[in-house]
Amino acid sequence: MMVRAAAFALALASACAQPSPSADSRPAAAEPVSVEADLSQGSVRFDRSLPTGLQVVRVKTGHLLVRPIVNGHEAGWFIFDTGAGICVVSTPYLAPLGLTPAGDIEALGIGGGESAQLFRAETLSLGPMTLRDHPLMSTDLSFLKQYLGEEIAGVIGYGVLSRCVAEIDLNASTVALHDPATYQLAAGSWVPVDLADRIPALRGRFESREGLFHVDTGSNAAVTFSANAVRKWQLLEGRESAEAKLGGVGGFTTARKGRLEWFEVGGLRQANVEATFPTEAKGTLAGERIDGSLGAALLKRYVVITDYPQSRMAFHDRPGAATTTAAGTR
């Protein structure tokens, strides 16, 4: 099984790009395995006596970090990432957590694929949620400190998000987790999403084109296209752009950075949107089914609500956000 794991992206302009991680600090590759990884999950419980809001820190790249408790241990800062198809723990943080080995898994990140170890946690708690028998992939995330400014112990992804409704405000640095059985949407309207990759994907429109885009809070870019979308729509022709890099699990890849006249998602439109155009067909950016991803620089204009159990999302404007609807200016 190939899983998009910790598919967060660091969009770096070439003029200020840091050196790529050394071979010693990149996630190590291993021989592929032929067995099917067991990603099944146990039960989930919501404690209504606990607040729904999480302890959150926003780092200089715009990523939101949260602090889960794994097997009763404070596990450190985890990236809250709708673009991760599985929860992840960084290898330097494995030993104290008492995780049970559970075989291997093939993972795909921005820089390419790798084989990694799979573990299971007896319990993983985050805010009011407690999950039992929870799968986590391991990979070395040490290289992220130079970019995020914090030691990253892991990533919260699909395994948690698939069992709750999450309200995410990237600009206000807030995340709240709710029981999907009782949640009521207070603003906006639901939009259907595709979860075939264990990452939410929905229709987005830009400059007279329409495609399918992942919603990825683990990316600090606005819009990042797939290499296939760049080719099929000839997106770099006649467009001013500069050299850039994209980095994440698996390493780094080359790209160009430019701007779109507008981008619309969930019935809300933004003008003059920054976009990244990969020039290598590599890793998560090499596929043909998905045309790209929407990251924090675009999503921070909205409050984003994910409801994976019902395969839907909602967006509503933040106060003062410069957005329009398809019908005109708000």
Task: Render pLDDT for 44-78 as a digit per residue (tens, 0 to 9).
Answer: 999 999 999 999 999 998 899 999 999 999 999 99
CB-based contact 307:300 (threshold 8 Å): no
Q: Is 250 left (phi over 0), alpha (psi -120 to 50) or beta?
A: left
Q: What is the pTM of this model?
A: 0.83
Which pLDDT score is estimated for 30?
26
Residues in the chain: 330
Residue 87: is its pLDDT beyond 90? Answer: yes
* CA dist., res. 132 & res. 122, Å (int): 5
**Burial of residue 87, with CB atoms counted within 10 A of its CB: 0-12 exposed, 13-18 middle, 19 or more buried:** buried
Q: What is the SS3 assignment for 130-142?
A: EEEEEEEEEECCH
Mean pLDDT, the chain, rounded, equals 84
* Mean predicted confidence (pLDDT) in 18-44: 48
What digits encode the pLDDT tens for the residues 102-156?
988 876 655 556 678 999 999 999 999 999 999 999 989 998 899 899 999 999 9
User: Reduced to 3 states, what is the DSSP secondary structure of residue 126?
Assistant: strand
Of the candidates 181, 229, 216, 203, the one whose C-alpha atom is nearest the C-alpha of residue 300 is 216
| C-alpha torsion sign, points 225, 231, 233, 238 | positive
CB-based contact 63:218 (threshold 8 Å): yes
At 3, is the pLDDT very low, low, confident or very high (cuts 50, 70, 90)?
Answer: low
At 286, is the pLDDT very low, low, confident or very high (cuts 50, 70, 90)?
Answer: low
Q: Which tokens hold the place of 84?
A: 């991760």
* CA dist., res. 197 & res. 203, Å (int): 15
